[in-house]
Structure 1
Amino acid sequence: MSLENSILSLLQELIMAKNAPKPLKSSYLIKAGSHLEISVLKLRLFLEMEIANETKIFQT
């Protein structure tokens, strides 16, 4: 799974949590948290292995 897919999955879980009934929100937020951690680890790995250019990643 690519970094883009991890971020899209994170967004999907956050949207589902926003629209879910209260009893189901926590499960969506837990899944979103795991996608966030995976995305952060992938991004950190890309930067440490110099696969991605830091300047281009953090441009707005």
Structure 2
Amino acid sequence: MAEKPKWYLHDLRPIAMSLLSNPNAKSNIKELAKLYEDNNAYAHKYALKEDGEQET
């Protein structure tokens, strides 16, 4: 995911949230949750770099 452009990370978040909120989405839910968490982690790293803050 690190190679993806920022717009990809931004646009992926609401899609993943919609899929996770679907009560009928039972298959691959763990993988989808991991994708959402990874997306947030990478998006946060990009935001920190843009703001000039150090990564933790």
TM-score, shorter chain, exceeding 0.5: yes
- The within-5 A match list for 1:1-60 is 1-2=5-6, 4-19=7-22, 20-48=24-52
Give the percent of matched residue pairs that are identical in Structure 1 and Structure 2: 4
TM-score of the superposed pair, with normalisation by structure 2: 0.67
Bigger share in helix? 1
SS in 2 for 1:17: helix
Unaligned runs of 5+ in 2: none
Coordinate RMSD, CA, aligned: 1.8
Shift of 1:24: 2.4
Once the 2 structures are TM-superposed, how far is the Cα of residue 16 of structure 1 from its aligned partner?
Answer: 1.4
Paired residues in the alignment total 48
Give the C-alpha shift of residue 40 in structure 1: 0.2
Larger radius of gyration: 1
What TM-score results when the alignment is normalised by the length of structure 1? 0.64
